[in-house]
Structure 1
Amino acid sequence: MSAARSLKTIRLYAISRIGWIKKQQAKLSAQERDTPREYLNRESHYLWGKRYLLKIIEREAPPFVDLQHSTILLYIRPEAGQEKKQLELDEWYRKLLKKAISELVSSWEKKIGVRVNEVGIRKMKTKWGTCNREAGRIWINLELAKKPEEWGY
């Protein structure tokens, strides 16, 4: 297939999906914008698009994050600052996202006949994810753990 014909096919497909694209753009525009987090009690945090209140529980033990009803419980040492609290929550999000993504990748590998060698999670400023086909590597934006699970189709 020539490049011009391929481009024409892509354009036709995009035009056929214009309604869906506009709907997704409207949903994105309507989303609340996050304010910088301070990692304080009763501060709002999101998981899979749902809002949870953060509860800080200070204790002399290794840090731990748990989810109970509409609350994210962050067990952390009393001397821990904002940076340490953020680090612990980020690791918790990373663990949850890694589990969700591995199930999704496994499903899609079978459907499209490809093999993924590695899936990584990291913070990205402008993308939801990237893919290196030659290496079989996928990088996913950590922020996806905070968004509705619709990204999984």
Structure 2
Amino acid sequence: MTTDIAIIKLNDLDVEVIHKNIKNVHLSVYPPDGKVKVSAPVSMTPDTVRVFVISKLGWIKKQQTKLRTQEREAPREYIDRESHYVWGKRYLLNVDEKDAPPSVALKHSRMILSVRPGTSREKKQAILEAWYRENLKQTVPALIEKWQSHMGVSVQRFYVQQMKTKWGSCNVHSGNIRLNTELGKKPLACLEYIVVHEMAHLLEPTHNSRFIELMDQFMPKWRFYREELNRLPVRHEDWGY
């Protein structure tokens, strides 16, 4: 339960601090402009939080620069000849209006979106997002199975959902991982990198040196895939803050 919210000012940087009933401090930098939030244990004093943030200033500035310079997709209108991506490949949308249940199909370089006449933009978006989500749900199990035996870990369940600030997350206590629906648009190797990244957290919950060593051991090219994800355009969002 949240007990206190405050703002720490460090020169030109405003940091929102939320004290919660948690054990460890968490620092996040949010798109699109790099807003900084800290979730801190109730017992952590303001001075301790300030020292912690100061120690992370270099990392914060790096993340803010990356977020502010990353290319973003234009808002989607879901009209003919609009570009959409599946596993990193570009497809031109073809909206096929007919009196039948909605569907999505890939044919050569076209993505055919079949909808009933008069279907709204929001409904078209929902149909495509559900298709991407199902596509991921069909693809991820084989990756998890492959890496479970290789890494010696066990994923209990995985979830696919829209995530504004992360490609994935891992609950080390439940053994569950969550994956961003947007990964269905990126190269398959990038999805596999995120799956391995989250599974590695079952061995090491934090991003410390041991975690880096584990990633180097299991996927030596992981930095290349990370850069690829950071280079590719990300989804346009109406950020609600």
TM-score range, shorter chain: 0.7 to 0.9
Residue 114 of structure 1: aligned partner: 153
Residue 123 of structure 2: aligned partner: 84
Matched, 1:98 2:137: yes
What is the rounded CA distance, in whole Å, between the counterparts of 1:149 and 1:117 in structure 2?
A: 22
Of 124, 131, 148, the residue aligned with 2:170 is: 131
Matched, 1:36 2:75: yes
Give the SS at the match of 2:101: coil
Structure 1 residue runs of 4+, over 6 Å off? none
Residue 222 of structure 2: aligned partner: none
Residue 17 of structure 1: aligned partner: none
Give the SS at the match of 2:96: strand
Residue 99 of structure 2: aligned partner: 60
- Measured after TM superposition, the shift of residue 128 of structure 1 is 0.3
Where in structure 2 are there 5+ consecutive unaligned residues?
A: 1-65, 194-241
Give the SS at the match of 1:91: helix
Of 109, 113, 126, the residue aligned with 1:74 is: 113
Q: Deviations over 1:113-135 (max 9, x none)?
A: 22212111111111100011211
What is the rounded CA distance, in whole Å, between the counterparts of 1:34 and 1:73 in structure 2?
A: 20
What is the rounded CA distance, in whole Å, between the counterparts of 1:50 and 1:43 in structure 2?
A: 14
The verdict on how the C-alpha distance between 1:95 and 1:101 changes in structure 2, with shifts beyond 3 A counting, is same
Give the SS at the match of 2:114: strand
- Measured after TM superposition, the shift of residue 60 of structure 1 is 0.8
- Measured after TM superposition, the shift of residue 79 of structure 1 is 2.1
Residue 218 of structure 2: aligned partner: none
Considering only aligned residues, what root-mean-square deviation do their CA atoms show, in Å? 2.0
Residue 146 of structure 1: aligned partner: 185
Where in structure 1 are there 5+ consecutive unaligned residues?
A: 1-25
What is the rounded CA distance, in whole Å, between the counterparts of 1:102 and 1:35 in structure 2?
A: 31
Which of the pair has more CA radius of gyration?
Answer: 2
Q: Which protein has greater RCO, CA pairs closer than 8 Å, 6+ apart?
A: 1
What is the rounded CA distance, in whole Å, between the counterparts of 1:67 and 1:108 in structure 2?
A: 29
What is the rounded CA distance, in whole Å, between the counterparts of 1:102 and 1:121 in structure 2?
A: 12
What is the rounded CA distance, in whole Å, between the counterparts of 1:111 and 1:90 in structure 2?
A: 31
Q: TM-score, normalised by structure 1?
A: 0.77
What is the rounded CA distance, in whole Å, between the counterparts of 2:73 and 2:155 in structure 1?
A: 32
Q: How many residues align?
A: 127
Identity %: 49
What is the rounded CA distance, in whole Å, between the counterparts of 1:148 and 1:57 in structure 2?
A: 27
Q: Deviations over 1:51-91 (max 9, x none)?
A: 11000000111101100000000011112100110011111
What is the rounded CA distance, in whole Å, between the counterparts of 2:117 and 2:111 in structure 1?
A: 17
